[in-house]
Structure 1
Amino acid sequence: MPAVLVKLLSELSMETFEFLNILQVHGFPKVMGVLTHLDKFKDAKKLKKTKQRLKHRFWTEIYDGAKLFYLSGLVHGKYPKREIHNLARFISVMKFHPLSWRASHPYILVDRFEDVTPPERVQLNNKCDRNITLYGYLRGCNLKKGTKVCIVKLSIFPFPLIYGLIRIELFS
């Protein structure tokens, strides 16, 4: 689970939001924010307003209710043991918001593949087009008719045949 660690001096930096945009491209895995250096604020009212403003900005970037954890400050170069214990417990019991993008877009996690090209064709021409069967798991929503499959570093293929739950045969 990625945690966005923010060194809180006054505002969230541009690099923090660039990192969040990178995570957003990948379907927003489990993310929580950790605000540090709260001891730098001497005025409690200013600290409270800054926390609220940053919390709402974090919510607009991720989703409403995204979790933020606050670490007060360093004591002798280390964070207080109790705060780290609370953070670890917070992470272990945290329930995450389901990702709407991931739930509405189908994707397949392939765990194995087989070359089902007839051996005679391979013996005649070693560089012939191959028939590959992929086995794996369908995640997200159901695949629609006419969907294309993108295999990284190869190409985009028209949706192939499905047998059983998830058995895909790509014919070239």
Structure 2
Amino acid sequence: MIDVGKVADLVLLMIDGSFGFEMETSEFLTIPQTHGFPKVIGILTHLDLIRSPSSLHLTKKSLKKRFWTEIHPGAKLFYLSGMLNSRYPDTEILNLSRFIGVMKFRPLVFRNTHPYIYVDRLQDLIPPELIRTSHSKCDRGISVYGYVQGTNWCGQGQKVHIPGVGDLLVREY
């Protein structure tokens, strides 16, 4: 979540309205603030599971207050009432897409000071037979194809961070 928050222009934060804020939601809202927080739009879903109109109103109000506390007062929060025929209502999706279409994004500090790659595809360089015979306990090599963004990429000898793996050294560029 942190790595994506560093390079994303916009984060659509889906919140289950019938359940409320989960631990992961709170973690995401607090951690990336130190890296130059991207714009966040909250989207409340599963509101059709709340039957009582008064309970629905109180739920919306309390979740909106909590969302504004975590982000900033006035942060945009959309409501998706429920799915009909495996689709959300067209008017609600249209309103959300129109709002996203006219948004202005500010430059993020991390992206202006670090190179990063949007990976288009990965290719495993190790023969499958070697992986099968060594029971997946061999050194792996991958080839990464994509687009470099941010500042200039030094290439060979530079370290690259892969989320969930860590920092690795680039052998060839």
* TM-score normalised according to structure 2 size: 0.54
Question: Does structure 1 conserve the Cα–Cα contact (< 8 Å) formed by 2:47 and 2:56?
Answer: yes
Aligned to 2:129: none
> Where in structure 1 are there 5+ consecutive unaligned residues?
113-135, 137-151, 154-172
Largest Rg, 1 or 2: 1
Q: Which has the higher contact order (CA 8 A, sep 6+)?
A: 2
Give the whole-Å Cα distance in 2 for the aligned partners of 1:111 and 1:60: 30
Question: Does structure 1 conserve the Cα–Cα contact (< 8 Å) formed by 2:42 and 2:76?
Answer: yes
How far apart are 1:109 and its partner, in Å? 3.2
How far apart are 1:2 and its partner, in Å? 0.8
Q: Give the direction of change, closer, same or farther, for the CA distance of 1:111–1:17 in structure 2 (3 Å limit).
A: closer
Give the whole-Å Cα distance in 1 for the aligned partners of 2:111 and 2:96: 34
Give the whole-Å Cα distance in 1 for the aligned partners of 2:98 and 2:111: 33
Deviations 1:9-38 (A, max 9, x none): 132111111111233232211111000111
Aligned to 2:112: 109
Alignment root-mean-square deviation, CA = 2.9
Runs of 4+ residues over 3 Å off in structure 1: 106-112
Give the whole-Å Cα distance in 1 for the aligned partners of 2:111 and 2:58: 44
* TM-score normalised according to structure 1 size: 0.54
Give the whole-Å Cα distance in 2 for the aligned partners of 1:42 and 1:50: 11
> Where in structure 2 are there 5+ consecutive unaligned residues?
1-9, 116-150, 152-157, 160-173
Give the whole-Å Cα distance in 1 for the aligned partners of 2:114 and 2:32: 24
How far apart are 1:95 and its partner, in Å? 5.7
